[in-house]
Structures are given as structure tokens and as C-alpha cells.
Structure 1
Amino acid sequence: MQINAQDSGSENRGIRVSPESNEGIPIRSVIIILHRNEKSLITDSLETEAFYQAFDIRPGSAFKQLVTDMAINTIEKQADIKSADYEVFNSGPGSPVVIVIHVYFLSEGESKKIETKKGMINTKSIKDFPVISETSYSKLAIVLNGGVGLFNENNGLFAKGPEFTQGNSIADDPAVKGVRFWGESYAELGLAGIWQLGSSNFYAYGSASGLLSARNTSDIYSNGTTIFFDAERMYAGLLGARLGKNKNINIDASFGRQSFQLNDGFLISKFSGSSNAGDRGNVYLNSRTAFQKTAILRTQFGSLNIDGFFLEPEELFKDKQTNTNYAGGTLAYNDNKTIDAGISYITVPSGSSMYSTPQGKISKKGMYVINPKLWLEDIGGTGLFLKSEYAYQSNRNANMKSNAYYLGIGLQKSKWFLKPSLYYRYAFMQGDDSTSERYERFDPILTGGLGNWVQGINFRKVTGNGNIIYQRVELKGYLSESFEVSLDYFHLSADTYSNLGGLPPITNLKEKNFGYEITFQSRYYINNNFLFLGIISYAKPGNAITKAFDEGVYNWTSYQAALFMFF
């Protein structure tokens, strides 16, 4: 019997993706498939727990390719196992990943072959690229990532670029009526490694890389060509795996320049870790994702996860740093079947960022968020799923209280032709009541992620995320295990007429309807190392935007095509 990884289990796993492209993304679930005597079986809960005791890949942790590779090596050391490998799946860019592990047992009478050393140095073969050296206890590899994209905006920023970008120092040539066409590219080169410390269950790991980005002409905001180089990754970590009497405790501590994401990016997205606009020349490719500073501690006790984090995003201008940072923690439970629940706390301990209010400016320092989450997969075996989060926001140093939440419900049919899914989400981010002394506009912190919290790739550049109500309908299908297509409809409206904190033309709204956007997206992984991403998005402004101007507001269409490389 042969099991296709995408069909393993009753839920739709999404498409098979490059492991390197999902570094730092949360693990939603882990599936283990045993291949024994020409049969392939998904492990039951007892077998899965036994394998958990042999290695350290559990739902709720963050995906790290080197750590997962070392866990696979641990599996392969077992006497009755011939080999093991894994695949990574997700249902959208930046969405939590599903790890599918394949374990192949020796046949009766078959002897075990042990490869003690791999990699280009040991085998003298370029076929082992990007692995430099690999043993049962260590791995050193080259990091080589890149991308090139072509972008065409017709009536970008609704043909009102100069008005919408007032006060924006990077917007020296914003889009107006007509076509704006440009290209972007980047290349990242570095090293990554992991080493077992003696015969212990502790591993040291780290990575360092530099990233070169470029733009060939004016983009939607900025004028002319540019090329920019800076450090990207620069982190180190210590992993303690399979600890405790029951071998079900994992501890992972890391610090430096690295990626981080909370859930699916509702409050903190991997893609908000660094700025990419202006002189960096990758406003659409979004090549840089590493936070400028991080300190992350992840602890797992079976199905329970306790995490702590400190984050400081990479800001655009080194001479205009606000040094705003975020600290917090998460308590979460994931049963690897249906329930993924948790609660997070996030606060701003320092920084000079400010909020604009009708009464003047207040400091972002002291702001905090309490954020419970409940996700349910394949409810009752029907294919129904539910995703919801709530965020209560306040400030210890100011009169500020706000709320945000979303509720999404969908249906996945992985046994049907094209494995279709239908999803509806209602999302609310509170606006400010200008008649109240209390500041009530919700700050979405570091939200983002294409397909998750970039709610309309065109409207996002105009409306932002505070004082907004989203309704989203998504239809998605899979042409193959590596080819996904989706069609999204977004309707956007304001919560309140007072929109201070939004862009200049729409700080005081005459109507609440921002408009709607329809987006077609295709993701095709040509192989494990190359991804093609294509997008067409059409946005029609509503009266909240058109009535902010006397005339000259036009519908906005975006065409995007990009090819990414991951090694």
C-alpha cells in the first residue's frame, strides 16, 4: 500500500514546500508514516509517542531545518531502520507547517548499511551541495537563497500616490495614474551548522549570512535603481532534546538575528521582522525577514509548549531608530490531531515609537496585549475547521484600551478532485472614538504574511490594519502535490469615522466602505529548491476612499511574478 503524504490523515496538508523557505515557522502537526514489508501505515498515537521519545520534532515548536535533519539522523541510528526522510507542507506562504516523516524499516534478512560521512568534503561530489559535511552527530551546510521578480502596477495607490504618501521619507516617486513596471532581485549566501555535544542530548547550532538586494528602476514608492548589502542571519542556539525521565522534554534557546513568528502572523509575522523598502529595493520580494535582535526560549513538555521571546525588528533607517522592542510569552497545547490552543502575552518594554491621538501623542512603551487562540482541525472527521484569536490591548502608561479578533470557518475536502477548500473569515480591529478621552485604535503590532494577514495586497498599502473590518472568502485547490491555486475576495470597511493613525487623505472618513479586492494567486514548487509565485489582484475603492478626493481615483490592478531559490 502506498500513502501519498498530502493524503495522509483526513485534513488537507497544503502543498509540499522547501524546508529552507519555512525556517522559523510554527509546526502545526507531525505525521509519521512507517514503511514496513511493502506496506505504508500512519502511526497510531502510541507509536507516535514512541518516536517522539527518539527525536525532538513536535507540533507547537518552530521549524528549523538543521534541527529536523539531525532528528532524522537520530531515527536512522536505530538498528531496525534502513532510512528516514521528511517533507514539509503548508497551506499558504507563512502558514504553520505540517511535517511528514517517512521511516523505512529493514526487510527480513536485510543488513543495515551505515553511511558515516556525507557532504561535498567527504564524498568529493558536487551532488551533495549544499551540504559541506554531515555525520551522525553534525552537519555543516551552505545557505544559498535568492529570488527575482517582475511587478506591474496599473493605477497604483489608486492613482493617488503623492497624497497617500505625504510625510513618507522613502516615497520620493510614488505611483500615479498609469503603469509602473519594475524588477527586484536578491541573493543570500552564508553557512549553517549543528553539532551534538559529545554523547549528550544537547546540540549547538547557528547560522550566519549576508544578503544583497537590488531594484532596477522606480518601484511603487521610490525612485530609480538601488543595490544594498547587509547581514541577514547571525544567530546561535542550544537545543536540549529528549530530556527528562520520559524523554518528552525539549528546551531550545537561541539569540541573535533570526526569524520568528507567532501563530499565523495575526500579531507577529515572520515577514515583519525587517524592512525591505526604499534603498533596500525589495519592497515586494520581501527578502529580509530576520529580526535585528532576538532572544527566544522554547520549552516543550509533551503536548504542552511554554515559550518566551524578546524581539526588535530591523528598522529602515539606521539614523532614525526608534529601538522599539517586544517581549512576551506563550502557553500552548497541541494534541497533533484537532486542538491547537494557547494564550500569549506581548508587551513593549522600551522604544520611542508614539501613537497619534486627538489629545496628542502617547508613547507605545508600556503597551501590552493578551492574546488567546483556538484552532480546531477536521472537526468530527467532516473536514470542517475553525480558526480564531482575540487580542485585548492596553497600556500601563496611558489611557488606552482596544480589541481585535477574528473568526474563520472552512471546509476541506482532501478526497475530492483538486482537494478543494472553502474558507470564510471575519476580522475586526477596533477604531478610535474621537469623542472619548481613551485611545481605542487597535495596533496590530507586527502583523503580516501573504495569504494570511496581508488582507488584500493592494488595500494593505492604503488602509493598514487598525480601524478596519475585513470579510474574506477564499476558494483554494491543488493541481498537484506541489501546485496550489487560490481565489480570494476581500471586503474592507472602517469601524469608526475617526481614522487618525491612517494615511493623510483618510484620517477623517466621510463613509466607512473602503472597497473590495479580488486576488488570484498560484504557488508552484518546481522542485524542492525553486518556487514560482504568481499574483493578479484587482482592487476597487469604496466611498471611504473616493470621497476623500474631488476626482481622479481609479481602480488598481497588480500583476506579480516571482521565482525564488532555496538551498
Structure 2
Amino acid sequence: MAQQTQKVNPQFANGNFIEEVRIVIMEDTAQVAATKKEMEDFYKAFFIKPRTIFNPLITDLAISRINEENNVKNAYYEIYESESGSGSVGRSVSIQIYVELTSGEETATKAKGLFSREGKDFPLLYESGQAQFKFLVNAGLGFYNDENALFAQGEAFTQGNPIADDPADEDTRFWMETFVEPGISGISKLGNSNIYWYGEASVLASARNTSDIYSSGSAGHIDVERLYTGFLITGLGKNKDITLNANYGRNFFQLNDGFLFSRYSGSSNAGPRGSVYSSSRTTYQKNGNLSIQWGKFRLSGHFLEPQELFKDKQQNTNYTIGTFNFNNNKNLDAAISYIATTGGKAKYATPNGAIQKKGIYVINPKLWLTNIAETGLFFKSEYAYQSHTQEDMQSYAWYAGLGYSFKNIATNPSIYYRYAFMKGDDANTEDYERFDPILTGGLGNWVQGLNFRKVLGNGNIVSHRIELTSWVSKRMSLSVDYFYLQANQLNNLGGLPPISSLKNKELGHEASVTLKGLLKDHFTFLGVVSYGIPGKGLNEAFIEKTPNWLTVQAAVFI
């Protein structure tokens, strides 16, 4: 690759946007990049191109079809975090495809898999150029230690929270979480057409061994995780460059890098599900997607409803999203999305009483630039104008981030600064102005302070973020993040009860250190240490000064 970036497991990248596709042709000892014509042919043959959604099913079948070519000895791919942007989890990805050629004798292609070759290819169940079915399994084991969690004010911060039967105080909480997700995935071409059917089904079991920062004792839960199906049609139009992709069911979704909709906000994990920190459940319980890719343009529509924690207290809030995107496959990615809250019973408090979330809409333009002026400079920004079809509500939020990656240094260090603004409500105006962050999240992207996120949410926040990232080995990268958090308005109605009204806008500081990478090809390590220091806005909400909050986390994902 042109420079070193973080390699990730394909299952972790499932549902994220593809920012770049590279193909490397290998013959004997020579390695050359695919020509522009070869790249265009690849884009037309497979639905794998920049700004489409990465799906391991589709990519695996594409690699299988390449391997069937007579002059191909072996083909495989690897997934990397994109070179632009920042964040530990949930960012866009790059695909590196390797094609090793041979000049030997032609050999007949044989089907592979558990059902065709005495089980030697397990977990592959069946594979040919027309279809692939495989057994999938994801698992994780994490250890978590928090000192003075919730700034030792757990009872105050969790008022009315049904899962908080033992909220943290000025104490130490140490616990373990684990999960396992077995399932089956498959994709098949329909005859000689350019139509593919695909789908996945899995069950996820999660458990906690003792009290976390909210809930007492152990917990365990088993439920369906993935359950969706869809179809893909390639090679449409006069130039064979139009692709249509549609799916529906329990599936992953993320809009951009999680500013408004994060993959990690698709499902609830706390309380009886025993996965509050490992966040093992990420699929939305209802997720319909339809996208049309035409050259460098993409038009997509989405319907989303997140998985809530208690079946007898469902709010059933759902969203409809339409996005128009342009990507020149080089350094420009621009889009505009329209988001509408189209259903559900959820409400939120205003100075004049509660109003329905149904009816909220957002207009969300985006501009991302990479490799500016052929340097390592990159820029990311989004704006969100928010209003309501039936209520006096107008708000907005935005961010702008500028970063630089030092390409000529072996450890590939980078620096990134981001300013983010999420408006608060001015109680002296008629309109309600507090920005509703919808389903934001994602460790390293839109968790604005790993600890502070649990008490502040994301509304009424002005944040400064500085991130430094570098490689410490061939497989491990180290990131250091610093957040300075302030409130936009002293009126904080909509925040947690102790801080619904602030005396000071200074919320606090948080510094995090993250070590992540592959231990082996199927084992990913994530270690985090984060230290939160409350500012005057938090301290003055309580009689006694709130202590600092330290969390230490270590997890291995399989």
C-alpha cells in the first residue's frame, strides 16, 4: 500500500462505506497496480467501488469468481481503515485486492466447501463462481475497570433509568463481558443473469459476570442478531455502469462516520443484555436499503428502526433517509441527505412541555476532501439543519475537522483537529433550539469523551478534539485523544436531571489512549484508558466536588 494503515477484520467493516479500492496484480516477483481500464471493468462487474457499502458476502463472491479465471493462481483481499479521517471504530474503509497470476497449465475449476471436499474448507460450506455459503462466527471477551464511574454521582445521573438498580458511586467496578455470534451467510448468482441473491442469519449470546456501572449482578441474553436478505443487479444501462442493490431485515447501517447515525447505535446492550461496554449487538431491528450507483453518483434510500431494550416499553421510533452522493474516486466526496423521523411514540422535554419526535427532519450536507494538493492533508465537515413539521423547533449542528498524515515517516503518524457544535436551547426564545443528535455514536468518532458521553449525551455541546495517531508495530496502532467540552447554553433541559440547568458552561476535559490492531488474522485487540476531569459546570451541580473518572478497558474480538 502507499502507506501503512490499520488492517481490520472484514466482519468489523461490514456496513461501512468503501472509500477506496486498489487492485495489485502479482506475476512472479513483479507487482503492478491495475490500470484505469481494469479498475473500470472491475467496478462494472462487481458492486465494489468507492462510496458503496462494504459487504463481505459480495466481496467474497467477487474474489471467488476471480479465482476461477484460468490465468489466476490465487486472489484474496484485505480491509484497511481509510487513510483520511480519524477514529477507532466505524470509519470508512479501503479494500486492497491481490491477484496472483500464473503461466502454468489451465486447470478445471472445482467447487469447494464442507459439502464438496470432505470438510477441509470449513468454515466454507460451499463455493463456486456462482455461489458461496459459509458458516460465520464472531466472539469477544472484555475486561473493564472503572474508578468513580459516573463521576461518583450514579444515583443522581440515573434517575428514572430502569436498568440502573445499582449505579456506581465513589467506588471501583471491575467486570467481564463476553459474547458469541454463530450464523450462516450466503450469496448466489441467479442463472446467467446479473442478478444476485444474498442474506445472513445469526444468533448472538452475551453475558456479564458481575455488576457493571449501572446494573447489579450477572446477566445473560440470547436473541437473533442478523436476519436479512437482499438482491443485487449489476451491469445495467447503456454503458453497463449502473448497479442496483436492495435489502431488508436486521442489518447494519451507518451514515457517513456516525455523526447522525452510527452502526453502534442500532441496538441496546445495557442491563439484562450484559454488554454495555462491548456493544456486541449493533444491528437495527428494521433496516431497509435501496441504492442505485451510476458511475460516480449514488442515490440511496433507507428505513431504520433501532432495537430497544425492553419489549414492553417500545417507542418504535423510525427514520427515513434519502441521500445523493458524488465521489470522484480520488479526493472528493460530497453528499446531501434528508432525514425524517417518520414514526414512533418518543417525546422530549421542552420549556413548554413535551413534544413528539415524530415530525423532526434534518437536512445534512457533507464535504470530505482527501490528499489535498497531493499531500497528506485531509478535511471533513458536515452540517445538519433540524426542524419539525408541526412544532416550533429549529436547531443546527456542524463540525469541521482538519488533519495531516505524515506519509514519509515509517510509523505513519497523523494529527487531527475537529471543532463540533451542537446547539442548545435558549429558554428566552419561542422556538425550541436544542439539537437532537438522533443515533450518533461510535468509539473514536462521535463519542465525545468516552466517559463524558454517558452523562452528557450529545446535545448542547461545543467540543474541541485533538487526535494523534501512530503505528507502534506492524499490526498495532496507538491513538491519543483529547476533548475539551463546553455547553452552548446554560439551559440544559433534555440533559440528565442533575445538569438540566447549568451555572457554568465548562463541562470538562477528557484524555484517552487507544491501542488497537490484529494479534493474529482472526484476533483483534482493543485497549483503552480514558480519564475524565469534570469542569465547573458539573462540579457546581452538586454540593460536593465530583471526583475524576478513570476507565481501563481491554478486549479481544474473534
User: Given the two structures, how large is their TM-score scaled by the length of structure 1?
Assistant: 0.95
Q: How is 1:240-255 mapped onto 2 (pairs within 5 angstroms)?
A: 240-255=233-248
Contact kept, 8 Å, 2:337 with 2:365, in 1: the verdict is yes
Q: Structure 1 counterpart of 2:143, which letter?
A: L
Q: Which structure 2 residues correspond to residues 332-411 of structure 1 after superposition, within 5 A? A: 332-411=325-404
Per-residue deviation, 1:53? 2.4
**Residue identity opposite 1:89 in structure 2:** Y
Moved more, 480-489 or 283-292: 480-489
Q: Which stretch has the larger CA shift, 517-526 or 46-55?
A: 46-55
CA separation in 1, counterparts of 2:474 and 2:332? Answer: 25
Specify whether residues 36 and 242 from structure 1 end up closer, same or farther in structure 2 by C-alpha distance, changes over 3 A only.
Answer: farther
Equivalent position to 1:119, from 113, 129, 151? 113
**CA offsets per residue over residues 344-387 of structure 1, 9 Å max, x none?**
11101111111200010111011000101010111011100000
Q: Deviations over 1:451-471 (max 9, x none)?
A: 100111100001110000111
Q: Secondary structure at the match of 2:434?
A: coil
Q: Secondary structure at 1:440's aligned position in 2?
A: coil
1:99 matched to 2:95? The reply is yes
Task: Name whichever of 81-90 and 234-243 sits farther off.
Answer: 81-90
The aligned amino acid for 1:443 is D
Q: CA RMSD in A?
A: 1.3
Cα deviation, residue 13, structure 1: 6.1
Q: Which residue of 2 aligns with 1:463?
A: 456
Q: Deviations over 1:269-288 (max 9, x none)?
A: 00000000010000000000
Question: Whole-Å Cα distance in 2 between the matches of residues 104 and 329 of structure 1?
Answer: 40
Deviations 1:89-148 (A, max 9, x none): 1153111111111122333xx22334321112222244x222111111111111211111
What is residue 468 of structure 2 aligned with on the other side?
Answer: 475
Map 1:483-522 onto structure 2 (within 5 A): 483-522=476-515
Q: Does 1:24 align with 2:15?
A: yes
Question: Whole-Å Cα distance in 2 between the matches of residues 54 and 158 of structure 1?
Answer: 54
Counterpart mapping for 1:178-189 below 5 A: 178-189=171-182
Q: CA deviation at 1:84?
A: 1.8
Query: Distance in 2 between the 1:115 and 1:548 partners?
Result: 70
Contact 2:44–2:234 under 8 Å retained in 1: no
From 320, 326, 329, the equivalent of 2:319 is 326
Match of 2:62 in 1: 71
1:552: how far off? 4.3
* Structure 2: 5+ residue stretches without partners: 83-87
Letter in 1 for 2:95: I
Instruction: Tell me if 1:413 matches 2:406.
Output: yes
After superposition, residues 42-61 of structure 1 pair within 5 angstroms as 42-61=33-52
SS at match of 2:354: strand
1:315 corresponds to which letter in structure 2?
E
**Pairing of 1:405-444 with structure 2 (within 5 A):** 405-444=398-437
Equivalent residue runs for 1:182-331 within 5 Å: 182-331=175-324
Distance 1:363 1:386 in 2: 36
Cα separation, 2, equivalents of 1:207 and 1:398: 41
**Whole-angstrom CA distance in 2 between matches of 1:33 and 1:341:** 27
CA distance in 1, matches of 2:555, 2:108: 41
SS in 2 for 1:284: coil
Question: What is the letter of the counterpart of residue 167 of structure 2?
Answer: P
- Indicate the residue corresponding to 2:85 in structure 1: none
Question: Does the CA contact (< 8 Å) of 2:7 and 2:517 recur in 1?
Answer: no
| Residue 4 of structure 1: aligned partner | none
Q: Which residues of 2 match residues 517-532 of structure 1 at below 5 A?
A: 517-532=510-525
Output the CA distance in 1 between the equivalents of 2:489 and 2:36. Answer: 49
1:88 aligned to 2:79?
A: yes
Using the alignment, how far apart are the partners of 1:305 and 1:389 within structure 2? 18
- For structure 1, the residue ranges without an aligned partner over 5 or more in a row are 1-6
CA shift for structure 1 position 49: 1.2
Q: CA deviation at 1:32?
A: 1.5
| Letter of the structure 1 residue corresponding to residue 226 of structure 2 | R
**For residues 529-565 of structure 1, what are the alpha-carbon distances to aligned partners after superposition, in whole Å with 9 as ceiling and x for unaligned?**
1111100001100001000011041000000001111
- Structure 2 residue matching 1:495: 3-state secondary structure: coil
Give the deviation of 1:216 after TM superposition: 0.5
Distance 1:114 1:538 in 2: 59
SS in 2 for 1:360: coil
SS in 1 for 2:449: coil
CA distance in 1, matches of 2:71, 2:132: 23
Q: Displacement of 1:481 after TM fit? A: 4.2
CA contact (8 A) 2:45 2:234 kept: no
Q: Counterparts of 2:134 and 2:465 in 1: how far apart (Å)?
A: 41
Residue type at the aligned position of 1:83:
N
Give 1:127-138 correspondences, 5 Å limit.
128-138=121-131
Residue 14 of structure 1: how far off its partner (Å): 2.5
- Alignment-mate amino acid for residue 503 of structure 2: K
Deviations 1:296-330 (A, max 9, x none): 10110011111100000000110001110000111
Alpha-carbon separation, structure 2, partners of 1:291 and 1:410: 32
Runs of 4+ in 1 over 6 A off after TM superposition: none
Q: Are 2:64 and 2:127, in contact at CA under 8 Å, matched by a contact in 1?
A: no
